[in-house]
Amino acid sequence: MEFIVKSGTPEKQRSGCIVAGVFETRKLSAVAQQIDEVTQGAISAILRRGDLEGKPGQTLLLHNLAQLPSERVLLVGCGREKEFNENRYREIIAKSISALRDTGASEITSYLTELEVKGRDISWKVRQAVEIIESSLYRFDQMKSKPNNNRRALRRVILAVPKRSDLGTGEQAIKEGQAIADGVKLARDLGNLPGNICTPTYLAEQAIELGKTYNLKITILEKDDMQKLGMGSLLSVARGSRQPPKLIVLEYQGANENDAPVALVGKGLTFDAGGISIKPAANMDEMKYDMCGGASVLGAVKAAAELKLPLNVVGVIPSSENLPDGDANKPGDIVTSMSGQTVEVLNTDAEGRLILSDALTYTERYKPAAVIDIATLTGACVIALGAHASGLLANNDQLAREILNAGKYSFDRAWQLPLWDEYQKQLDSNFADMANIGGREGGAITAACFLARYTKNFKWAHLDVAGTAWKTGKDKGATGRPVPLLVQFLINRARQGGAENGA
């Protein structure tokens, strides 16, 4: 998709379609008003007939309006003007693309970017438009024998900015939006692939290809390497699978080699049947999404490299499968992690924390400035926060604020849960240093408490994306979250104002 920013009034735009907003009740936006004046009241006359009230998400496609060089005009309902906010803006951008998808327009000029969104500037509006348009047009059909190739598909989007002085800002916003959208697409593609194709080896191969494209240093640790390092926790999960485990490491250097990197650690369970503590059959196919944390690390590193961000980033992805087998973990088994701590495995389906614990210990060798792990870790987080916010827990308040602010700006939001010592008692074991589960109460918190025992030597935050990494039901598929949040966090860090920027 080609994105361009332009400044100019709608009567001068030759385009396949001009997109403008209408508020309730039939109140024209500034651009719709301009179109109405040029067409001698055609818009007002049509609205008076009741074709569109301006309710959120309503659309009305008009053709060949007199005195207007554009072939079409799409009017999009924006709801009440006083209630127009970030979420509504994102919704109408998506709705406009949905309405135009099956038309013959290969190019559009959208003036929705000129609508006033409280607290957000033209840079935010343009970048969000790019990300949302790319997301709305995303299709995963590479596994189908006959992919849907629409020859008249939308190929060019012109995003309007109010003044010529906004063009430079808009171009930078497009650059950032496209890099984020590319990272999201990579994460979605990997997440949507079936487990028989997207194996730990396949994930490692994708990292290697990424390294070739962006000149990244790639290290793949094999089973023997992990055994030498004492990664008994990670290896115990892989014992039930015929697929060899991988520890995938990507290093992006955008700053001085001596500068401490930001480390992103992503859970890469390419399929999770639960092991001996096997999951119910219903919806088990969705457990191919258990590697979405790892996929988001690949997507975020890709975006950082595309943007040439002036900072160093290390991505670490522990990857395996979790399947039942005669050699698989059994409830009651005790394993020794790379840190030397022992773990009683009371539930083999709480495997994500087992592979992450060794990955977090391994990450310590990079002396990171901050570590964020990303994992589809607990169903408890889905119960607590639903599908709208990722769960955030951290051992450093400043780091937590940076992540929350990045989430607010990118509209890839997180919500912080407590990481109090009182919860640690739920992990007590009679036979090992800790158990891998802490009971039903506060399950998302006790999972993070488990990981916290491996992060005492650095600033660390944990993102539980079990509710946000994919959608279920009719619209089933990976979302690519939290790539936008992670990239915004890295952008803020690169600007040396991560705690304040992006709020």
d(CA 331, CA 352): 15
d(CA 306, CA 309): 8
d(CA 176, CA 128): 10
Angle (deg, nearest 10), helices 352-363 and 443-452: 30
In the set 26, 55, 80, 279, the catalytic residue is 279
What are the φ/ψ torsions at residue 372 (nearest 5 degrees)?
-125, 120
d(CA 490, CA 475): 30
In the set 185, 353, 453, 493, the catalytic residue is 353
- 413 as an active site residue: the answer is no
- 212 as an active site residue: the answer is no
Q: Is 20 exposed, middle or buried (0-12, 13-18, 19+ CB in 10 A)?
A: buried
Contact 396, 460 (CB under 8 A): yes
Using the Cα atoms of residue 42, residue 45, residue 47 and residue 49 in order, give the sign of their dihedral: negative
The distance from CA 46 to its chain's CA centroid, rounded to whole angstroms, is 40
Contact 354, 290 (CB under 8 A): no
Contact 330, 345 (CB under 8 A): yes
* Gap between the terminal Cα atoms of the chain: 29
- Cβ atoms within 10 Å of 186's Cβ, excluding its own: 22
Whose tokens are 């039901």? That residue is 473
Residues known to be catalytic: 279, 353
